[in-house]
Amino acid sequence: MKIKLLKKADIIIIAAAAAAAIGFILFQRLGVQRLTAVISVDGSVVQSVRLDEVTSRVEIRPQGAPDVLIVAENGKIRFEGSDCPDKLCVKRGELYRKGDTAVCLPEKTVITVTGAELDAVTY
């Protein structure tokens, strides 16, 4: 007598669960984002940039911090240059998710990503 480990219905359930998991991961990774990068110098907001609308390279030199170069490109923003000695702000890298923050303390410049991030949880 032969014992079957998996029946046809078991295989269908496993395939459906795998497809649902892959769909969830793709939806989460490719979720629609309406994000804004807020640039402030010495506690005052000097500029806001809609990251979802940025497609080409945009260079920003905020008022009050002329030695800082901020670059927004392809839905991301980052410090590209600063006269600070340790360059921690530049090493922070790209900001592209809600809540991401980079700070240049010597220049008193802060970039914070805010806004609505639609993903599988909020959808």
Q: What is the pLDDT along the chain (123 residues), one digit of tens a residue?
A: 566 777 888 889 999 999 999 988 877 666 556 889 999 998 899 999 998 888 889 999 988 777 899 999 988 999 999 888 888 999 999 998 888 999 999 889 999 999 865 555 544
Q: Quick one: pLDDT at residue 31? A: 59
List CB contacts of 101: < 8 A, sequence separation 6 or more.
95, 110, 111, 112, 113
**Contact at 8 Å (CB) between 102 and 79?**
yes
For the chain, give every domain's residue range: 33-117
Sheet holding 69-73, edge to edge: 58-60, 69-73, 76-81
Q: Quick one: pLDDT at residue 116? A: 67
Q: In terms of pTM, does the model score above 0.85?
A: no
Q: Quick one: pLDDT at residue 52? A: 83
The encoded tokens of residue 65 equal: 């911090």
CATH annotation of 33-117:
2.60.320.10
Strand-strand pairing, 44-50 and 58-60: unpaired
